[in-house]
Chains A and B, each alone.
Chain A
Amino acid sequence: MRLPDSVTGSFLVVLGAAAAYGGWLLPPVPGQPVGPNVFPLVIGTGLALCGLAIVFGIGHSFEEEEELIPLEDGQAAAPPPQGKLYGLRALLPPALLLFYVLAADRLGFIITAAIMVYVTSTALGAKWKLALPLAALSPFAIHLIFGKLLRVPLPAGLLPTPW
């Protein structure tokens, strides 16, 4: 997902300008010089200026090599399969969370959670021998902790828990 600086920078310019404009449109507090519009105006302008600076490559020389967690070292022998769709795998976790939002009330927590666990686990390379028991058991464990002990109202849906 590494995008060129010109793309991210331009996006920030647009976002900043939109924020400043949106702030400008907000109604002022009667009889007062400053209201809710000042802060977004300042921030939007700042963001747009930063975006411009990024587009023109200012500050690029400060960037150091990726230091996050040097995972690759020593095991780079097996490069991950590269394909057009491979990068989209990263979007799976948020997609599953949205699936949870849409489905949890209808299907209930246990079923939705089992599907989430199974899909995530398989996507990370687990065989069904691991993924299936995990998907069957972990929703109950989580439900026990959050639903029973911490009393979070998790939706029951189609398959209510025995407790």
Chain B
Amino acid sequence: MLKTLLDAFALISTWEVIVAMFAASVYGLVIGSLPGLSATMATALLVPVTFYLSPIAAIATIVAASSMAIFSGDIPGALLRIPGTPASAAYADEAYAMTRKGQAELALGAGVWFSAVGGIAGVLSLMILAPPLAEIALSFSTFEYFWLALLGLMCATLVARSSPVKAIAGMFIGLLVSCVGIENPGGVPRFTFGLTDLFGGIEPIPALVGVFAVAQVMRAMLTPEPPPLPRRKFGSIMAGQWKLTKMYHWQMTRGNIVGIIIGVLPGAGADMAAWVSYAMSKRFSKEPEKFGTGHVEGLVEAGASNNASIASGWVPSLLFGIPGDTIAAIAIGVLYMKGLNPGPTLFTEKASSMYAIYLMFIIANILMIPLGIAMIRIAAYILLAPRSAIMPIIMLCCAVGSFAIGNNMFGVVTVAAFGVIGYVMEANGYPVAAMVLGIVMGTMVEQAFVTSLIKSDGSILPFFERPVAAILAAMAIGALLWPVMVWVWRKVKPPQAAAATSR
């Protein structure tokens, strides 16, 4: 244990890792603070760069950039009422109300402090949850993996803030995308339409860049430019945060726990965690009437929650290759590329790398405090950069980055195509996160499914015979039937149900 920890320290205390982490932190802070550029997009655009780094440095950049971006989305939320990332959208109104009351320092300070605390709580959950789960997962056969993957996909559709039917459709589209290529049980070209470029299948990373980055530039074409940030002097940012911590320690803990749980659920990430925690904070608050008028309580809980979900989203990713959120989905791609294939054995064979990941999460969250304060102070200058100067650069990065992944132009075509797909889906209420999950998990689902079918000789009974498989199956089927039950429930008692679901 001690030796692994020392090995982990040795792994991360190289110049490459330190410089990569620092640079990625600054990058994450800047991208997160720019309205319309999300944390997922920041991570996706980082992937081509990670190709050229050592495995640990590559993961360090992802860890640092994603944690920082989630916090720095709070900055324009508080100062402009425009959340920098969707994860800050839940409480942007509240933070802006505080700014108008002259408490911008307190709001932003709470953002940085409780984000860091939440992030560290998330890492602790990762350290505590992952090893025992890995023990259990070692005895999993393809039946369990099949149900687990199905459960993951179903969770993603359940938590989508959209029609569950559309979310399931989005998931099927993603699975269909993963069918393309010759990497299938028969090794025959499937849905390749005779194009050699499609033989290798559609790479998840260019698809993700397209869905999250190109689609965002497309949306920017049709939306008005956000207003510039008024320049202002800030007082002490961390003053009063310790008092808030003592005053709202219960809210903070609850935010952390909710964030961790939502992070572990596949497909649900930081934005969902923030919405749920903010709503929960309001529901259980002693003074709910203050919410919306510039009250810090909801900020504490939601800020603690969205950063906690970032680290815990890595739990299912590292253990099963099932991404906890869209950022983890990208991270899985990088893990595979770097020879750290997700799976329970990762915790025994590559233990020092795992400890290195924990350490990097902790360091990133500590680093967030000084860098975050600096960022708050210079945010007014960064937000001066007009969108018409940033979006073209994003476009160039999309083109070059997707080319770099395979050094062929087909990657660029994929990015363009998925930009259109993502844009059209989002515009029509189909959640793209469900599709992304389908693309990332498709091959694994198919493999588990077909291998299980071959083993069972076409019978479906063995899918339920092993105890763990039966439990997972019950959960997956329950998740599938849940929207139907809610629908029936609403039909039976319309008035109360409508009142209960409004938040």
A, B co-complexed: yes
Report which A residues bind B (CB closer than 8 A). Answer: 1-3, 5, 8, 12, 15-16, 19, 22-23, 26-29, 32-40, 42-44, 46-47, 50-51, 53-54, 58-64, 67-75, 78, 80, 86-87, 89-98, 100-101, 104-105, 109, 113, 116-118, 120-126, 130-131, 134-135, 138-139, 142, 146, 149-154
Residues in B neighbouring A117, C-beta threshold 8 A: 392-393, 395-396
Task: State the CA gap A142–B166 with chains docked (Å).
Answer: 39
**Cβ A59 vs Cβ B36 within 8 A:** no
By a CB distance below 8 angstroms, the chain B residues around A105 are 409
Contact A152:B449 (CB < 8 A) given known A89-B221, A113-B396 = no
Measured between alpha carbons, how far is A134 from B169 in the docked complex, in Å?
41
Is B404 in contact with A152, judged by CB distance below 8 angstroms?
yes
Interface, chain B (partner A; CB < 8 A):
35-36, 48-49, 51-52, 81-83, 86, 89, 92, 161-166, 168-169, 172-173, 175-176, 179, 184-188, 190-191, 214, 217-227, 386-389, 391-393, 395-401, 403-404, 407, 409, 412-413, 415-417, 419-420, 423-424, 426-430, 446, 449-450, 453-454, 457-458, 483, 486-487, 490
Residues of A close to B169: CB separation below 8 A: 12, 47, 50-51, 54
B418 to chain A: closest residue by CB = A94
Contact B219 A90 (CB under 8 A): yes
A50–B176 Cα distance when bound, in Å, is 14
User: Is A97 a contact partner of B395 (Cβ separation < 8 A)?
Assistant: yes
Q: Is the CB of B221 within 8 A of A63?
A: no
| Residue from A63, A94, A98, A122 in contact with B218 in the complex, judged by beta carbons closer than 8 Å | A94
* Contact indicator A54/B165 (Cβ below 8 Å): yes
A-B contact pairs, 23 of them (CB 8 A): A1-B424, A8-B430, A12-B173, A19-B176, A28-B186, A32-B454, A36-B187, A36-B188, A61-B487, A63-B429, A91-B218, A94-B420, A101-B413, A101-B416, A113-B396, A116-B396, A117-B396, A121-B391, A125-B388, A126-B386, A130-B388, A146-B48, A151-B52
Chain A residues near B35 (CB-CB < 8 A)? 69, 71
With both beta carbons as reference points, the residue of chain B lying nearest to A32 in the complex is identified as B454
B456 CB to nearest A CB, Å:
10
Q: How far, in angstroms, from A27 to B189 measured CA to CA in the complex?
A: 10
Residues of A near B399 (CB, < 8 A) are: 97, 100, 113, 116
Contacts of B391 in A (CB 8 A): 120-121, 124
Interface residue SS majority, chain B? helix
Contacts A130-B386, A142-B393 given: A59-B403 contact, CB under 8 Å? Answer: no
Q: Judging by beta carbons under 8 Å apart, are B176 and A59 in contact?
A: no
CB–CB B186/A27 < 8 A? yes
The residues of B that contact A3 with a CB separation of less than 8 Å are 424, 427-428
CB pair A142–B397 under 8 Å, yes or no, is yes
Check if A90 sits within 8 Å of B218, measured CB to CB. yes
